[in-house]
Amino acid sequence: MERTLIVAGFGGQGVLSLGMVIARAGMSEGYEVSWLPSYGPEQRGGTANCHVILSDEPVACPLVGHPQTLIAFNLPSLEKFAQRVVPGGEILVESGLEAAVTREDVRLYALPALEEANRFGDTRVANMVMLGAWLELHPILGDEAIEDALRRVISKRHHDLLPLDLEAIRAGRRLMAMARA
Amino acid sequence: MGERELMKGNEAMAEAAIRAGCRYFFGYPITPQSELLEYMARHLAGRGGVFLQAESEVSAINMVYGAAGAGARVMTATSSPGFSLMQEGLSYMAGAELPAVVVNVVRGGPGLGGLQPAQSDYFQATKGGGHGDYRLIVLAPSSPQEAADLVYEAFDVADRYRNVVLILADSILAQAMEPVELPPARDPASLPAKPWATVGRGERAEPNLVNSLYLAAEDLWALNQRLQAKYRRIEAEETRWAEEWTEEADWLVVAYGSMARIALAAIRQLRREEGLRVGLFRPISLWPFPSRALARRAAGTRGVLTMEMSTGQMVEDVRLAVEGAVPVRFFGKTGGVVPEVEEAVEAIRRMVAETEPRHAHPVR
Amino acid sequence: MSVTLRPVFEPTRGLRSDRVTHYCPGCTHGVAHRLVAEVLEELGVLERTVGVASVGCSVLAYNYFLVDMQEAAHGRAPAVATGIKRVLPDRVVFAYQGDGDLAAIGMAEIVHAAARGENITVIFINNANYGMTSGQMAPTTLVGQRTTTTPLGRDPAQAGYPIRVAELLDTLDGPAYIARGSLHDTAHVLQAKRYIRKAFQAQLEGRGFSLVELLSSCPTNWGLEPVEALDFIRERLVPHYPLGELRKPEGVR
Ligand SMILES: Cc1ncc(C[n+]2csc(CCOP(=O)(O)OP(=O)(O)O)c2C)c(N)n1
Ligand code: SF4
């Protein structure tokens, strides 16, 4: 088994931590994992992205050229990476952006993650909504592993947000379940 | 052994250094090594050490010189433009035979270059870099785990030979997070003594001297002969490399650092999907370069492909090692453009096609 | 009646008595060495001192001082001394630098060591030219002064103005002690020694960075007889580089 992802969006949308939660949880579930961030000026106000791999085998190369999953939070990220998704792969986007996806050979899920996060009163948890959606598609990481990963990824001074994050993840799962139904 | 931790290469190197007994770090910020510097700033003081942000890389390496001369395990880290500025100090450290560990997280050049990963400092790292006939021991990890292991060991190697050990990294492995199992912590007080260090004369009748000036030509010649003898010993004892699928390989790929990971992915794909018998030869010590091991491996193959994130630097050492026994080809990209696995696959296919027996150039 | 002989002078134990220095006749580098060595001996710290020699005529200082020494690259002595002091905070660490070394190629290192209040002592030899490389212009060369690279005299329009290092460093908050002395006659040599002692005293008390600038002769490159060179210091250098203590730690007189 190997799962490869690219998570991309504006800096500050939590794309790096989304990927990191998956990698950390993957590690505690016994997978070989890697997480590679974009670096440099890309991070300054522009787009940020990270490459994530979970695998049964040692990871050959932490770069993900062609992800099975693209999670895109904004148009520039979608334009940059949509063509790279493997045929038969999937793209998760913020609703409203789906029109920009021209590919027929991938599954496309447009989810109102921002709107959902807004309902929790904190748009910062939109990344967790997307995480929940991805977990619904790929039930390979247990709740405990995810919670533990969250605790490690999120800085201590934001630990009061943990219940909110978990709530957002559950909401994401529901959204995805509805989208697939 | 401890637990596996998900860590960035930069942080793994910093923590491994502290566990190796390094308590002194002098550095100057530069992307993409700043996380190493910041880790040291956060952790050293609390563990009985000193972190100092220098006014430049020139000063940083000279602070390292002073601290190493005073007998401490000491480290600095930088990226390419800063590494250029350190060459003067590194040359002096070679002359004065001072041990220290230096990390260069290479970025694309020349000039201010870019911030993305590259391997274009190979010449500078392995051929001396500064003035004079000297070598740094150059170790090139290809993962955060290996980076931690090599940094940890580097302090012992540096002390053993009284020589600078350079960790030549790139921002893929410096910034990627992978599981890392950290080595056990060592107490600096338990490390072997350095009777040559300048710590104050104390009871000694003769002062100790840390110096690289020899005004009499015969004396400088004698120093150089001593250094060369040491370098031969290092070549005999510290040459490192790794191999994957090289037994009975028909072709060989030579790559180091993160490029070796890309090559590995490409080779895995070709072996799986096309049954091509390609092996990977990965130099870990870039100086001393594993020439003999490579020559032995290359001998039975039809061709060798060197892959680098440069326009072709290590390939010169590969050619020197192989000595024309089989064709040596090159594939590389640089400036921060990282070759894709498919490009690596393509490059290997090209080499295979060109070196099939019917195409092979006869070796005279 | 018996006479007991009492020694009135003994060479300092801080310098090797068996070596003749390589300095030119009439050069006051040797005087500065002796003052430093005497002070270290009188303070009883020779055994726990680490010195840093720099690049210039004093590059071989490590051959004369009987203390552990490191030889630094041109201009980098304050950085090297910083490295030593951070590892060995209870040792006495000093750097000995010329004006080309300290105020040209090494200006960044000295300013930042001073700004950090690095607890080291710097002995700064100002001889208004590059002695070792045979008399080129230094950052301290006076306007109008002839050197091998200002053959018609230093012209500010082309080569700018001399730097007053002690005053420059005195603008910083880091230093604990800054003084400028001169080596042109006995009275001033004794005064210089008092400054040097206070500088090391400041270090021993952990007060931070200390520097003593010493106006020093270079008869060889100034093209003067040794005695004329001392006159040159008095008549030309002292008026431009006023003597005295610029910075003293509180409680020090
Ligand atoms: C990087 C470098 N550049 C140039 C030199 C050549 N050099 C040696 S000594 C010196 C000048 C020293 O002058 P100063 O510091 O005034 O000391 P003095 O000889 O006058 O005592 C120079 C330029 C060097 N050794 N290293
Ligand atoms: S050249 Fe000048 S500074 Fe150098 S030793 Fe001779 S007199 Fe002294």
- In angstroms, the CA B178 to CA A23 distance is 8
Mean pLDDT of C214-219: 98
- Output the average pLDDT for chain C: 96
Instruction: For residue B144, count CB atoms less than 10 angstroms from its CB and return exposed for 0-12, middle for 13-18, buried for 19 or more.
Output: buried
Ligand 2 pocket, residues with Cβ under 6 angstroms:
C 23-24, 27, 29, 57, 127, 131-132, 218-221
Task: List Cα–Cα distances, C72 to B29, C15, C76, in angstroms.
Answer: 23, 20, 6
Sign of CA dihedral B185, B189, B192, B193: positive
- What is the fold, at CATH topology level, of the domain defined by B4-237? Rossmann fold (3.40.50)
Interface of A with B in 22-61 (CB under 8 A): 23-24, 27, 32-37, 39-41, 59-61
Asked if A33's CB is within 8 angstroms of B179's CB, the reply is: yes
Number of compact structural domains in chain C:
1
User: Residue B356: which pLDDT band, with cuts at 50, 70 and 90?
Assistant: confident
Q: Which residue has the higher pLDDT, C249 or A136?
A: A136
Residue type, B38: E
- In angstroms, the CA B33 to CA B39 distance is 10
DSSP classification of residue B112? T
- The answer to whether B113 and B142 have CB atoms below 8 angstroms apart is no
pLDDT at A176 over 80: yes
Instruction: Please give the model's pTM, rounded to 2 decimal places.
Output: 0.93
Q: Is residue C10 part of a domain?
A: no
- In angstroms, the CA C201 to CA C118 distance is 14
Domains B4-237 and B243-354 share a fold: yes
C77-108 tens-digit pLDDT: 999 999 999 999 999 999 999 999 999 999 99
Q: Is residue C22 part of a domain?
A: no
Q: The CATH number of the domain where C66 resides is what?
A: 3.40.50.970
Domain boundaries, chain B: 4-237, 243-354
Residues contacting residue B176 through CB under 8 Å, at least 6 positions apart? A34, A35, A36, A37, A62, B8, B9, B143, B144
- The answer to whether C99 and C75 have CB atoms below 8 angstroms apart is no
3-state helix, strand, coil in chain C (%, to 5): 40, 15, 45
In terms of phi and psi (left: phi > 0; alpha: psi -120 to 50; beta: otherwise), the region of A12 is: left
Task: List Cα–Cα distances, B216 to B213, C19, C41, C53, in angstroms.
Answer: 9, 17, 31, 18
Backbone angles phi, psi at B327, to 5 degrees: -65, 140
Residue type, B239: T
B121-168 tens-digit pLDDT: 999 999 999 999 999 999 999 999 999 999 999 999 999 999 999 999
Identify which of A153, A179, A87 has the alpha carbon closest to the alpha carbon of residue B8. Answer: A153
- In angstroms, the CA B133 to CA B124 distance is 13
pLDDT at B359 over 70: no
Report how far ligand 1's centroid is from the alpha carbon of B95 (Å). 19
pLDDT at res. C251: 67
Asked if B63's CB is within 8 angstroms of C112's CB, the reply is: no
Q: How many beta-carbon pairs below 8 A join chains A and B? A: 64
Instruction: For residue B1, count CB atoms less than 10 angstroms from its CB and return exposed for 0-12, middle for 13-18, buried for 19 or more.
Output: exposed
Identify which of B40, B118, B125, B55 has the alpha carbon closest to the alpha carbon of residue B84. Answer: B125
Task: List Cα–Cα distances, C137 to A79, C27, C144, in angstroms.
Answer: 61, 18, 11
Q: Is residue C56 part of a domain?
A: yes
Q: Is residue C17 part of a domain?
A: no
- In angstroms, the CA C213 to CA C211 distance is 6
- Give the nearest ligand 2 atom to C24 CA: 6
- Helix or strand holding residue B176 (H, E): none
| Predicted ipTM of the assembly | 0.91
Q: Is residue C74 part of a domain?
A: yes
Q: Is residue C1 part of a domain?
A: no
- The answer to whether C244 and C212 have CB atoms below 8 angstroms apart is no
Instruction: Please state which of the ranges A11-15, B218-222, B258-262, C17-21 shows the lowest mean pLDDT.
Output: A11-15
Are 3 or more Cβ–Cβ pairs between C and A shorter than 8 Å? no
DSSP classification of residue C233? I
C155-202 tens-digit pLDDT: 999 999 999 999 999 999 999 999 999 999 999 999 999 999 999 999
Given the candidates 3.40.50.920, 3.40.190.10, 3.40.50.720, 3.40.50.300, the CATH classification of the domain at B243-354 is 3.40.50.920
Q: Which stretches within B252-309 are classed as H helix?
A: 257-274, 291-299
Domain with residues A2-180, CATH architecture? 3-Layer(aba) Sandwich (3.40)
* Structural domain range at position C99: 29-247
